[in-house]
Amino acid sequence: MIMKKVFYFTVGIILFSNLFFNANIIKISAASSFWDGFDKTGGAIGYKLTDPRSLPQKIGKVLNIATVFLGVVFLGLMIYAGYLWMLARGNEQEVEKAKNIIIYTVIGLVAVLGAYSITQLMATLWVKS
């Protein structure tokens, strides 16, 4: 009975706080003058304003979306490997399969983060020159 009350109380707190924080996010995203201030400040100190429809901007958005997607895939594979490992019940073949999934997933994550870092470095050097 007490666990049920604790559960409902926790769910209520989470829902209430979620509604509160989302309302603030909506207010901020609705205020276009927030971003206009950055454009004015950047223009005043000599930075060129970029067109959001330009090719580099679109490539950057695609790379960010791909990186987020690969992060979700990484998380899913890690959860799957952990699930396999926990349900192996001493079966060495299943444990080895789970270990291999974890190893290859971490290698893939390192490769993706390395590629992202190199891309960011090249973009930074390209913009400065």
Judgement on whether residues 67 and 79 belong to the same structural domain of the protein: yes
Asked which of 32, 49, 66 is the last residue of a domain, the reply is 49
Under DSSP, is residue 89 helix (H, G, I), strand (E, B) or coil? coil
Q: Is there a contact between 81 and 101 (Cβ–Cβ < 8 Å)?
A: yes
Q: Is there a contact between 49 and 42 (Cβ–Cβ < 8 Å)?
A: yes
Judgement on whether residues 39 and 55 belong to the same structural domain of the protein: no
The C-alpha atoms of residue 71 and residue 112 are separated, in whole angstroms, by: 9
Judgement on whether residues 63 and 113 belong to the same structural domain of the protein: yes
Per-residue pLDDT of the chain (129 residues; tens, 9 = 90+): 778 888 888 888 877 777 666 655 555 555 556 666 677 777 777 777 677 777 777 887 888 888 889 999 999 999 999 999 999 988 999 999 999 999 999 999 999 999 888 988 887 887 776
Count of CA atoms in the C-beta half-sphere (13 A) of 77? 18
Cα–Cα–Cα angle for 42, 44, 46, rounded to 5 degrees: 70
pLDDT of residue 43: 73
Judgement on whether residues 7 and 58 belong to the same structural domain of the protein: no
Judgement on whether residues 67 and 127 belong to the same structural domain of the protein: yes
The residue segments making up the domain with residue 44 are: 1-49
Judgement on whether residues 100 and 123 belong to the same structural domain of the protein: yes
How many domains in the chain?
A: 2
